[in-house]
Amino acid sequence: MSTVKVPIGPQHPALKEPINFTIEIEGEQVVDAKVRIGYNHRGIEKACELRTYVRDIYLLERVCGICSHSHTTTFTQGVEELLDEDVPRRGLYIRTIVCELERLHSHMLWLGVAGHEIGFDTLLHYTWRDRELVMDFLEMISGNRVNYAMNTIGGVRRDISKDLIPTLKKGMDTFRERCEYYLKLCSEEPTVLERTQGVGVLPTHMARKLGAVGPTVRASAVDMDCRKDDPCAAYDEVPFEVCTWDSCDVFARVAVRILEMIQSCNMIQWMLDHLPKDEIRLKLKRRVPEGEVLSRYEAPRGELIHYIKSNGTDKPERVKVRTPTLANWPSVEYMLKGCYIADVPIIVASIDPCISCTDRVTFVDVEKEKTWVWDSNQLRRYGIEFYKKKRW
Partner 1 sequence: MSQKRPKLKPSLKEDERLKAELEKAFGDTVEVWIPRAKRMFIKVKPGDHRKVIQWMRDNWDLQHVTTISGVDKGDTFEIVYHLYKYQGYRTYPNVKTEIPKKDPKIETIVDILPSADFYERETHDLLGIVFENHPNLERLILPDDWPEGVYPLRKDWLPEGVE
Residues that bind partner 1 (CB under 8 A): 36-39, 41, 43, 45-47, 50, 81, 86-89, 92, 208-211, 222, 224, 229-230, 236, 274, 276-278, 293-294, 296, 303, 305, 307, 309, 317-318, 320, 322, 326-327, 329-330
Q: Which is nearer to partner 1, 307 or 340 (CB)?
A: 307
Q: What single string gives the DSSP state of each residue in 360-381? A: EEEEEETTTTEEEEEEHHHHHH
Q: Which DSSP symbol is given to 300? A: T
Report in angstroms how near the CB of residue 316 gets to partner 1 at its nearest.
11
C-alpha 306/C-alpha 320 separation (Å) is: 5
Per DSSP bridges, beta strands 20-26 and 4-8 are antiparallel
CB 122 within 8 A of CB 163: no
Q: Which is nearer to partner 1, 4 or 222 (CB)?
A: 222
Report in angstroms how near the CB of residue 262 gets to partner 1 at its nearest.
24
Q: Which is nearer to partner 1, 13 or 43 (CB)?
A: 43
DSSP 3-state of 200: coil
Report in angstroms how near the CB of residue 38 gets to partner 1 at its nearest.
4
Report in angstroms how near the CB of residue 62 gets to partner 1 at its nearest.
17
Q: Which is nearer to partner 1, 184 or 209 (CB)?
A: 209
**Cβ–Cβ contacts within 10 Å for residue 273, how many?**
9
The length of the chain in residues reads 392
The residues that bridge with 294 in the sheet, in sequence order, are 307
Q: State the amino acid at position 158 in one-letter form.
A: R
Number of DSSP helices (H) and strands (E) in the chain, helices first? 14, 10
CA distances from 321 to 17, 230, 367, 390 (A): 15, 18, 42, 44
Q: Which is nearer to partner 1, 115 or 316 (CB)?
A: 316
Q: Which is nearer to partner 1, 131 or 227 (CB)?
A: 227
Per DSSP bridges, beta strands 29-36 and 316-322 are unpaired
Strands across the sheet containing 291-299: 291-299, 302-310, 316-322
In what helix (H) or strand (E) does residue 293 lie, and over which residues does it extend? strand 291-299
Compute, in degrees rounded to 10, the torsion defined by CA atoms 112, 37, 326, 130: -10
Report in angstroms how near the CB of residue 307 gets to partner 1 at its nearest.
5
Report in angstroms how near the CB of residue 244 gets to partner 1 at its nearest.
13
Report in angstroms how near the CB of residue 89 gets to partner 1 at its nearest.
5
Q: Which is nearer to partner 1, 325 or 376 (CB)?
A: 325
Report in angstroms how near the CB of residue 324 gets to partner 1 at its nearest.
10
Q: Which is nearer to partner 1, 89 or 257 (CB)?
A: 89
Q: Which is nearer to partner 1, 294 or 366 (CB)?
A: 294
Cis peptide before 10 (omega within 30 of 0): yes
Q: Which residues contact 151 (CB under 8 A, 6 or more apart)?
A: 57, 69, 72, 73, 75, 76, 95, 157
Report in angstroms how near the CB of residue 51 gets to partner 1 at its nearest.
10
